[in-house]
Amino acid sequence: MHPPPTARAKLALDLSNSRAIENLLQDVVTSIHHTSERARFASRNTVPDIETHLDQDLVVLAELEEQLPEVGSQIRDIRNVYDRGRDKARDLMASLEWLNTPVSQRLRTIIFTSNAPVSKKWKVAVRTVFALIFCACMWIAWITLRGAVRAHRQRLVWGERLMS
């Protein structure tokens, strides 16, 4: 006795589906097997290498951690030396600019301003000499002016007969 054609078609379809499922399961089992082999290989070879490298890196990090304060102090020392050098270069440039300034400009700066790059003793000395010379010039100008006024009042002639 043969099953009816619809049952036969259904049976053929179910058989085809079960073969497809079997093929898919076979592919999954093969894939799991390959993944398992790769995982075993990695756990036997790669993981110990990674652990070895990790241990070496931890040792290096520990050494670097010990050296870090020393390196930090060396960097601070270098920064301090650099800053002192920059300040000294700035001072030397200011001194060079001062020395390249004409003497008349230097004297004006010393006498009339407070920002001249010279010592207080030098400022006092130059300002005192300036005050003495200024007073002497004013005294001579006063004497000259008095003589000119006197000559004008007395109607003295200038030129051939100068007053003595």
What are the sequence ranges of the domains in the chain?
119-164
pLDDT (tens digit, 0 to 9) for every residue of the chain, 164 residues total?
A: 555 668 888 888 888 888 999 999 999 999 999 999 988 888 888 878 888 889 999 999 999 889 889 989 999 999 999 999 999 999 999 999 988 999 999 999 999 998 888 999 999 999 999 999 999 999 999 999 998 888 888 877 665 555 55
DSSP string, 7-44: HHHHHHHHHHHHHHHHHHHHHHHHHHHHHHHHHHHIII
The pTM score is 0.48
